[in-house]
Every structure is written in structure tokens, then in C-alpha cells.
Amino acid sequence: MHKIDFNDRWVFIKEGKESYIEKEIPDGEYITLPHCFNGIDGQSGDGMYKGKTCYQKKVALTGEELREYHYLEIGAASLVSHVYINGILAGSSRCGFSMYRVFLNPLLKEGENLISIVVDNSRFDDVYPLMADFSFYGGLYREVSWITTRALHFELLDNSRDGMYITQKAIKNGIYELKIKGSVINELHNKLESKIKVTLLDKEGNGVLSKTMKCAVIEKEEFEFIEELNQPRLWQGIEDPYLYTLKVELYQEEQLVDERNLEIGFRTIEITPDKGVFLNGKPIKLNGVSRHQDFAEVGNALTKEHMELDMSLIKEIGANSIRLSHYQHHDYFYTLCDRAGLLVWAEIPFISVPSTADKENQNAKDQLERLIKQAYNHCSIYCWGIQNEITIAIENEQIYEMVKELAAIARNLDAVRYIAQANIHSVANESSLNDLTDFVGYNLYYGWYYKEMKDLAVRLDEFHKVRPNIPVMVTEYGVDTNPVLHSYTPSVKDYTEEYQLLFQENALKTFKEREYVLGGYVWALFDFGSEIRNEGGTKGKNQKGLVTIDRKIKKDTFYLCKAYWSKEKFVKLAGSRFVNRHQEENDMVVLSNVNSVKLFVGEKMIGERNDHEPVKIFKGVKLAHGENFIRVEAVDSEGNCYYDEMFLNRVKDMDLSYVLKKTEEKTTVTNWFQKFDLTNVQEVAIKEGYYSTFDTIEELYKNEEAKAVFKKYFGDLAENPQMATMRGLMTIDSMSKRSRFNIPKELLSVINKELNVIEKRK
């Protein structure tokens, strides 16, 4: 197989005319892949383009070249894409985060060939994600490659990346089984004799294993190697991410015709409900971060340099695990995780609401198959996430069946790794949803969206008490934080760095103190685009990141996590962006993983701390009017010194630029008891054949009388873009179970009294 980059000089136009399928675009722009057409508007909050676009490129082929076999590999195209060769459809994809390949030969001709790829990020009722708190960027946003093969080659069209699957499994006493399973394709369909050779090399290039198998191929022939290794050097996560190289070579008449070079690691993962996670028998806490794949002004069209920058920040913070949310990420990033020793939660965009148009849930199944087949050979991946908050609109048996089916598919495709899910907080501890995967994650935002920070510990303890045999972790936790906002008295929804620091420390302490908690994934490492957002003084972005979307500002909480997780010694003064201080006495917060710390104002030492606490607070530090030079000095046990410094201004009056200007918060309701008479309400006995609060909003909207009743109580709520997505699932009854609607039970009876006299038409 010969694979070349096919990324330069594409012609792009933000239109989807049918004529562009077979005719050249007249006035397009030349671009280089990867390319995202929402790099700016997907992060602006002012509306983003959603619709068809077209990418074109010409390629000239000789008659000699046409005797070979050609494929186009599209790294990813969001959300739906179609590939045309000389005006004829060659292939398509409705999995906008997965790689796919198209066989080209039947449509290629000698001379010039026109390739047109139509990419559409419009909403499709049967393509996930349907609704989520991130921008659904469009574009041919990962690399495209041109693949040329001989007649005999490894499988290219089974939705996998490598055409083979490498499984490592511990047997006993340090002996590991290595299984290599794959397929060989013969394009000529006449019997060809071949030889497959596998060689395992250690990091120094020394041969550890070498085996050869003869194989006669007519059309397609499967092969399998099962070998044992005694005492291989293990992949020990971030402590020692040791990787071997597996070479798999295909020969025809002693000539090499195809090969794969794969980095693999040997390791075991055990997840327990009471003692947490064990990597190769050693207990670890999952100190995790979550990551979306976008970047400032380029959307999701990241280059390798972008991904390497992200990985450098993940290494710096000291995380040992990462949740790659909420879809399949670039294969190169999984490779970086292999090399860095990060344990990866990989998942699909079966998120928020299930499709009502795709009754078989086929799109979720397709995306799961591609994720597992394409990422199977990455040893960093320890689990497959099959749903995220899928019960936002409603929780019922139908959703349970969908999740159960996805779990079965995942187990069939990969019998070794764990199956996981991430539930919204409203899923009850007792819910049967929690029985469908090997372990459970909860997205918990106590102290931000609901209740108080201390309730995080209460909820986890309650879950462990009720479900002691189910391992649990926190798959999301965080608060939106604008690094220009600051407060002496941080509080919920003030969006300050100071509140994020309090929130994060509470979570880290909660996880650390509970052996049974597997760990947590802070939401998120980086701010990310979310077209629906306008809060915290910024539009178009979710600001829960520990780092800004351009990767330029590390918020104080980044260093808090580093103090808890990293072995790289450092010291950091929190509050360096809170420059103008109007109070004389200030608490100085020092973040460090060094025990001995001294604080100075000017040349005067203010105080000293000697303890293991990652957060060291020096209370009541007095600032003089004007500029104050603050310095912190830390000395480790070996006498190495670490420093940080900042300038603070003592000013007369509060700097109001640090305070978010309050806007009137729009809520679904004000006070139901004031709007409607809810006194002396009698419960209504629901009659069959008539409308009620148990009918979906979509059903109510099909009848003008029932629709009028809904609008009387909820106005135009159903026309809201997010609610419109859920109309086929959500009922007034299920709305009442969501705290944000604040619906009292008395109101349900009042509404039913009006709805249950409207007869359903047969």
C-alpha cells in the first residue's frame, strides 16, 4: 500500500449546488486541508453557517496508473458527506467524526478526473449528535489521503483503520497472549499465494518475536496469529508508557506488497466497585481531564502541531487519564495518548436525546462500530463510552433498550475493554440504566447548576451505599470561568477564577478521600465553541476550561490540578490577574506540590508554610497603596528552589471591570402560583383517548386545541431550537422532573383538566 497526502489546492465554496457535483466550481477559494468552514462563526455566538458546501480537486492518471487500485481516505467530514468522481457518487458517510474510504477504480478514467466532496453540517434527524452543548462544526476537517495498492493487500473497506485487530491479554504468571487477526483482499479474484510475516520489535529495535504464515487468497482470506510472550515490559501509564512496534508484512512471490507498523503496549486494567482502578495490579486514581477537539479560529480543523500543543499541556498538568468527548477524535491524538501513557475514555455522540426518526438507532451503531474498529489497536483506550446524558428529555424502557443494544455491540466488537456510560445527575441511583455497563460515570455539577458543592460527596456516598457493586466515577464537573472576572467573595454564577478554584478543590478532595471513587474528568481542559452560549461575559463559548480556547491563558485552577497531580515541582501565586485590589488585607493563595513555601511582599517575608497541602493560604496580607511586589519561594527536600511573582495594585475603589454585569436572567417561568390559581387543585383521573401531560409535545402540537393549552402555560418554549429537538420525546410530565422548569405537581393537574377533555382523532 502506498499512501500520500492529498491535502493541497482544494477548491472550496460555501454552497451546495447540484452542478458542482460534475462541473468545476467557477469562483471558489483555494484551501489546504484540514479545513473547517465554521472556524470563526462557530465560536462567535452570532449564528453559524449550517448547510451544504463543496470541495473539489482534480487528479490526472495515466493508463499505467489505472492498472493499480485506488482509494480515497477521508479523515473525517462533518456531519454528512458524499464523494463524487466525475459526477458519479462513489461513497458517502453519515458518521461525521470517523474516517472512511472510497474505492475509486470503477469511476476513474485515463486523463483528468474531477473529485467533488459535498459536506453538509445541517441538522439531520437521524444523524448524531442531535443536540449538545458544543458547536457542530462543518468541513473536510481532517486530512485526506490517496491510497494506491497492488491486487493483493490488507483489508481497507471493513470500517477499520489497519485491516487488522491486535489484542493483548494477560494469561498468568507474567505471560501475555498476543493475538493478531485480520483479512487479506485479492482484487483479481483468482487464487494468489501469499505469505504473512509478523515481527515484534522492542523500543530499541530488537526482535522479540517473528512468525510467518502462508495464505492462499481468492477474494478475501482471514488470518490469525496467537502467540505468547513471557514477561514483556509493560505499558505503565504515565510512569512508563513502553511501546513495542509490531510489523505485519504481506508478501506475494517473495515481494513485499503491503505492510502495517503498529505501536502496541502490554497492560492490564482492573476496575473494582470498592477499591478503584488497578493498572497492571497497581492502584491508581484517575486524575482526568476532558477534551473537545476544537481550537480558537480554526474550529475542529486541527493540525498535528495543535494536537501536540494540547498534549504538552495535558502532560504539564500531570493528568493520567483523558476523556475524549463526545465523539471519535483524530487517530493521531490517540497515538499521542499511547505514547504519553494516558488512559483514554473514548466515546460516540449518542448524547442528550435519541433520534425519533432513526427507529433502529442505526447511526449510533454505525458510529460505535467505526470508533471501535478504527481505534481498537490503541493500548491507551481502556473503555468505550456508549452514551452521554441521553436521558435529558426522558428516561424510559426504549432508551434502556438502545443503551443495552449498544453495549452488546461494543462487547461483540471488543471482548477485552470495559463498556461505560456518562449519566446526567437526574438518573436515580436505583435506575436500571446503571446496570447496563461495566461501570458508571455521572456528570455532576453540584455548586454550579444545582445545590451546593458539598453535595457532590453526599451524592457519591449515596450511590455507593445503594449500588455497592457498581464502580462509579465523575465524568464531568466544572464551572464556567472568565479569567478577567475576580472576587474577594466568590459565589455561584459569578464566573470568577476564584470560584472555579474553590469548586475544583472541593471535587479533588472529594475524590481523593473516597477509595471507591474511580476518579474524575474535569470539564474541561480547554474552553470550547458552543454556538448556543451567551454567558459569563462571552458569547459562543463554553468557558469551563482550565485553559482558554486559544491555549494562551492557564487559569489558576490549571495550577491547582498540577499541584495535586504532577511530580514536576513548581510554585504558583493564584490571583495574578486580580491586579487592582481595593481592600488592605488580602488572602494570598499559593498553589504548589512543594512543602516548604515562603511568601514575601517586597523584601519582607510575610509568612512560611511547611506542609503537604497543595493549596497554601496566607491570610490577611496587607497591601500598601499603589504597586506591591509579591513573591513566593519554595524549596524542595533536595534544596532546589522554585519561584513565582506578581504585581498587585492597591486602589481606592473596587475595580468594576472584575464584576460581571448582571443581565435579567430569562427563565421558563416566574412563579406558577402567581401566574395561575393552584389552590384547592384536585387530581384528575386520566381518560384514555384524550390528551394529557403524558403525550409528547409533538403529539400536542398536532392538535390545535391541545397546542393552545401547551402555549397557554409555556408560551413559545417548544419553538426554542433546543426544545424543538426534544419535542418528539419530551412530555409535560417529563418536563416536571427537570428542575430548570420548576413545575409544581399542582400545575400538572390543572393542565390535565384542560387537556383531558380534548379527544384524540382516530
Distance in angstroms (rounded) separating the CA atoms of residues 669 and 735: 12
Residues 6+ apart with CB under 8 A from 630: 573, 588, 599, 600, 601, 645, 646, 647, 648
If phi > 0 it is left, if psi is from -120 to 50 it is alpha, else beta; for residue 49 that is beta
Catalytic entry in 389, 498, 505, 746:
389
C-alpha cell at 131: 443536540
The residues facing 601 across adjacent strands are 604, 630
Q: How many CB atoms lie within 10 A of CB 84?
A: 22
Q: How many CB atoms lie within 10 A of CB 717?
A: 17
Assess whether 239 carries a catalytic annotation. Answer: no
Q: List the end-to-end C-alpha distance of the chain, in Å, as a whole number.
A: 61
351 neighbors 424 (Cβ within 8 angstroms): no
Give 673-719 as a 3 state SS string: HHHCCCCCCCCCCCCCCECCCCCEHHHHHCCHHHHHHHHHHHCCHHH
C-alpha cell at 140: 473536510
Q: How many CB atoms lie within 10 A of CB 670?
A: 9
What is the separation of C-alpha 187 from the centre of its chain, rounded to a whole number of angstroms? 38
Nearest to 85 by CA among 63, 53, 56, 107: 107
Distance in angstroms (rounded) separating the CA atoms of residues 608 and 616: 10
Nearest to 153 by CA among 83, 227, 63, 68: 68
Cis peptide before 326 (omega within 30 of 0): yes
Give 175-223 as a 3 state SS string: EEEEEEEEEEEECCCCCEEEEEEEEEECCCCCEEEEEEEEEEECCEEEE
Nearest to 561 by CA among 158, 221, 356, 289: 289
If phi > 0 it is left, if psi is from -120 to 50 it is alpha, else beta; for residue 451 that is left
Q: How many CB atoms lie within 10 A of CB 164?
A: 26
If phi > 0 it is left, if psi is from -120 to 50 it is alpha, else beta; for residue 299 that is left
C-alpha dihedral (121, 127, 128, 134), degrees to nearest 10: 20
Residue at grid coordinates 463524487: 84
If phi > 0 it is left, if psi is from -120 to 50 it is alpha, else beta; for residue 305 that is alpha
C-alpha cell at 371: 470508533
What is the separation of C-alpha 730 from the centre of its chain, rounded to a whole number of angstroms? 25
If phi > 0 it is left, if psi is from -120 to 50 it is alpha, else beta; for residue 237 that is left
* Active-site residue set: 389
